[in-house]
Structures are given as C-alpha cells and as structure tokens.
Structure 1
C-alpha cells in the first residue's frame, strides 16, 4: 500500500510539472499548479522526496525558464518549498549543484546585489539566497557575504502575523544552514542578538525559527572569548534552551507507536528542532562558559528527552547518548554534574529494555566506560589531595610543637621589608610549607 502511495505521489508531481508548461501563458493557472505541487511535496516521505531531487527535474525547470514558459517568481515558490523539505529531512542530494539552474540563481544573486539601494528587489534577493542555501551544499565566499546581512534583515521583523513568522522562519533556517567554514563579521553578532532578545520579550518567532537563530549564533560566535559570557549570562542560553525543549517535548506523542501520516508530518518539525537543540547543547557545553547549575540543567534536559524517546524514537535516543558521552569526555566538566543531571539513571533504564543486543547497545556501554574513567580519575585526584592535606597538617603541627613558627615569622618580617612580593602573614606558614 505504501509503495503504491509513493509511486502515486511521485507520478502526480511529474504530471503537474508537465501541466505547468501547458499553461505557460496563464500566470494564475501556473501559480495554482505550483501550489498543487507544493501540496504533493507536503505528502511525500523521505524516500519519495529523494527521488524528486534529480538533475532531470532541475534541467527541465531551467529549460522552461529559458523558453519563457515559467516565471522566476513561480520557480522560486517551488524551489523554496523543495529546499525546505530537503533540510527538514536531512537529504544529502548534490544534484542541484551541477545544474544550469544553480548557476543561473548564483548570477541573479550577484546581479541583484550590484544594483543601487532602492533599485534592487530585496524580496527577490532574499528568495534567491534561501533557495540557493537550501539546495546547494557547496562553498561560495562571494555569495556568503551577500547571504548573511540580507537574511538577518529579513529575520528581524516585528510583525507577528503568520505570514511574517513563516518568512522569518525561512530566513533563520537558511542562516542556520550556511556553511560553517565561512567567517562572519563580528559586527553581525549584534544583529542576531537583537532578533533573539526581541523574541524573548515579545515571543514573535516560531519554535523552529527561534532554535535556528540560536544555532546561527552559537555555531558562529561561541568561540569568541568576548561573546561566551554574553551568551550565557546576559542572553541566558541554558535557561532559554531548556524552556524551549520542554515546550517541544509537549508537542510530540511519544508513547503511541501507530500514528497517521498527517500526525507524523505535523510532529516532524518538532522532532527536527529537538535534534538540533541537542546538537547546540553539545556545542555550548564544550566551548561556552558553563556553571555547574547550568550544566546539570542541560544534562537533566537531555535525560528528559531520552526517557520520552525510549519507546519509539531511536534516532533521538542515539543523539542523546552521543550528548552524554560528549559531556563525560569534556575534561572541563565535573563528572558529578552528570549524576546530578540524572543521565546515568536514564541510560540504565534504557539498557534494561534491550532484549537483543543491537549495535546501539555498544554506545550505551561506552558511555558507562567513559563515565567510570572520569569518576576513577576524580577519585584518584581526591586521594592525592587527601594525602597532601594530611602531610601538610602534620608539618603544621610539627612547626608549632618545635617552636619553628616564631623563627619563620621573624625571618618573614625581615624579608617582607626587602621583597615586596611575599604573602601576608596570615598565610605565612602555608606559604613556607608549600615551598
């Protein structure tokens, strides 16, 4: 049944493309056909979508543009929708890159940018940028310098209508997908910060848009020393991320295995955002300024998602295990935070449910191996520190009993006059014993 459905969707999409050409002289009919094609895309699963992203399709669209049978506005309406689902389904198709359609869009972006301010079509430029980012995975330094400022501008819209929210979501999603090799000007940090802080005050973005804004910010700026503290202490990343994750968890029917296709499609956006938040947790914990309380909160949030996903969402579980391991392997993190964050209990619960040993089981065992190594390392350090303190106490007692403390103090007063850098007298004994 499902196989027939897949064939029907793909076939219907191809038929609509042919009908699009037949109504070349009627703009309204073409718009209607594009809407129908977008509706078919909405109904496709990942396998069907993959079959659509082919060189033949993009070549056909380009031919229709060349022969003036299809307007660029309608092409972008279709391509943006296709690109959106490519990102949401994590498709790795590279077919668009080597087509004439890709080259045409690149040229249009450059040409539109060259026009003087006021004469260029910003809406067209933004649509072109979004299409190209969604569909083409390659590096274009020249285009990248155009993408970011225009997409940031499109994202910062104070209007709270659904149409504007969708536009901001598309722009921020595109920003979050821009290639990480490319460097962003530091001055653009204030732009993305305004977008995030305005949402914190007014709640004007969708969940996916807000997550995408944070993704762009953290992937681009978290390594900047001056920005780390701002992200944590002023913009409150941990608090915001945990709150957003809680809201997303409520949107998914975790326990029910049998779901209608429509329900799965509705949940897809939430599941996608959850996976991306987990990835952001990793980046923030690894590079950011993280206090013990913040860390325990983030680990606790991962544990909550992990418990919910245990029954039916293997990919989310695997992503959570990966996050737990990353936290354990980060030497700057106190291993105790993992215990406070309830991660160990969460993984143990899932391990109990493994009836047959699967490849994923090894990941769970490796998590405990890493945790044990960290706790053993911590225990060894504590043991050494305890011995050092015991020895120090014995030396202090000996100094006091034998009267050496007074002699040292006398010498200290004499040396302090000559050498200004020596410590204060209340730390004197500690100083000499330490030496």
Structure 2
C-alpha cells in the first residue's frame, strides 16, 4: 500500500473520517485507535462510533500509560470509562520511560508507543494527528534541515517497516479549531496533558510561542504549510521514481555498482545511495554522513579499504561494489570443542556442525589428542592447503579466495593445540586431513 499524501481540504470531522474510511478501509477491517484521552483522539473515537454502522468495521482502542504525569492513572481511568460507554474494547499498556533517556523524554515515549503499535494484530492503527500537527511537523523538519521526504511530514496512510498494520490518520485535513467545535457541539469530555504547555519541548515551544506569531501575520498558515508538505511529498515521490530507475542497472540484490554510481551527478548519486540504504531498512543518516559515504565510495584509492559506519550497518566497497552489512560484534574469546556435534562460535556469529565422516575432514585422532578451539583470526595465521606445499598466510588466502573484507574478521577458524587446521570457505590443513577410510571430523558452518 503506497503512502497517501495528497493535500486534504478543510472539512467537518465526520465528513473527513467518513471519506478516509471509504478510501482506505475495507468493510469489516480491524481498527485500533490510539486513545490518549485528549481532545483529538476523543473526537476521533466519537466519529468512529457514529460511523461504524454505515461503514462496518471492528473497533478497539489502545491507551499507553507512560507514567510520566501524576495524573496518568486518572487519564487511563477516563479512557476506560469512555470506551465502556461506547462498548469499545480498551487495552491498557504500561511503559516505563527513563527521564535520562539519551533520546529525550518525547522521543523515548514515542519509541515505546510505536513499539506497542507495531505489534498490534489489526489492519489499521488510527492516530488523531490533525492539520495543525502537520504544519508543526513541517516546521520542525525544516528546522532540522530535512530534505523533501522529511518536509513531506505525515502521510494520511503509511506502511511502516516492522508493523503488522498500516497507520491511518483520518483527521489530517481537520484543523485543531474544527475538532474543538466538534467536541463542544457533541458535549464531549477530554483530558488535558499539562506537559503540552511545557515549552522546554520543541513542539510545545513551536505551538505555544511561534505559531501564534505566525497567525498574526499569516492567516491560514496551517493550511498553507500543509499544502507545502504535500508539494514536498510530490518532490520526494519523483526522487523515489528516479532512484528506482537508476537502481535497475545499479543495484543487484545487496550490491550497488560503484561504476554506475560514479556516472551519475553527485545529487543523483546521493539519491541512489539513499534509496540503497532505505532498501535495507536502515534509518537515514545525516546529509553530512551520506555525503561522506558517497565521497569515500567514489573518490578513495582503488586499493583503499573503504568502510563507513552508518548506524547499525557499515557500508563497504569491495571489487567495484558497495555493500551494507551489519556491524561486526565485539571480539569474543575462542570456544573449546569437547566432542559436541554442534558448537556456537560467538566471535564469528555462527554455529559450526562437527560431522563424523570417513575418508575426509580432519583426522579424528589428531583432534582427539589435543585442545581444539574455534574462533576468528587474531593475525599471523598460516595454513598448508596442499601436501608438501608451503604454509601460506591466511591473509593472502583470504584475498585469493575473494572473501569480502567484512567477512574476513568473522570467518570461523579451527585450531588444535594452537595450529590452524581449518578456515571456513578456504579449506583444511593438508597434514591433518583424514586418509581414505580413516575416521574424520568435518566442520560445517550451519548458521
């Protein structure tokens, strides 16, 4: 399902919700409303209850108890009474937010909510974002230096990575004042979160201090900013289309062709690299970090070891291609094999199966006579692959076998009494290989 970002006209609450349901929600779909107890979500709940007969759907509500306010228990009780009065099932989720969270309280609370919403087994999670929220989001993104995707702000319907349900925002075309009129006209009650007045939080400062000043000089500012967000969404969609066109010849599975990348203008190259990162589900790095990654991929010496950290992944250049791979775990000590059929090797991030064989593999007698350990390279290892041949450095063997650089430090190895006897993907020590019909042990990487 594609994200819907068309500008939404100012309509009444019922009309806006009914139209959104008609365009996006099939009959008998399962909906979960994120209910805070505030004006916006209470108004949306009321509208959904009014409309559920003419547009049948299953409705439940979800309240997240953050525990940040001394009134949080009362808000939860209010939501429970409200849902009971409408015969709507309510699920309460309690979360704990650390006041010293590095991301900040707002971001930490949002992260916890989204974790809960992602796990909901429904078709749509409905949130009560409205037009003033959209305008504020656009300004916040602009002040962060965001590009077209960030400035597109919030789509009406959005498919999020890792979520079971799509997120639907039926009120994006409705101003906050329209929701207040609706609630008052229907005699609705709601709760007010005192933290919304705390201007230490950026959105609150924008809402309480900046937007009133804009209103004095720019009537209709929220609608104008919402239109601007829609125009940025169009620009972002065009950039996505261009990236998909370039990706046809540049991206093959997990590989981005650096030669094709070099043939594009730098802005177009950044757009393609951004698309490549998105395909891996990675949060977008800053413009500076993205530009540095592109510079290293294209301008570093041909023989240079290129690796740029992008959050939880590294971008590597190898044999003319760029690859995104998980950051290697911290080094771990080798593990000792004591006859198990399988053995986890944490330093390599794999499990090795030790198969009992005959006429192949490593001599069982050799392994039984010494201390066998499995781990990853420490440096200076040598291996004799051919009888009578020299012991060659593992470093050279890795290069000859085209083992990718990010795999070299995680390649599982086996030693017996400190002598390297096996390197996954490369081979066995020739002096320790089992003769025909001789009992052997064959190491096999299984995960």
TM over 0.5: no
By percentage of residues, which structure has more strand? 2
User: Greater relative contact order: 1 or 2 (C-alpha under 8 angstroms, separation 6 or more)?
Assistant: 2
By percentage of residues, which structure has more helix? 1
TM-score normalized by structure 1? 0.24
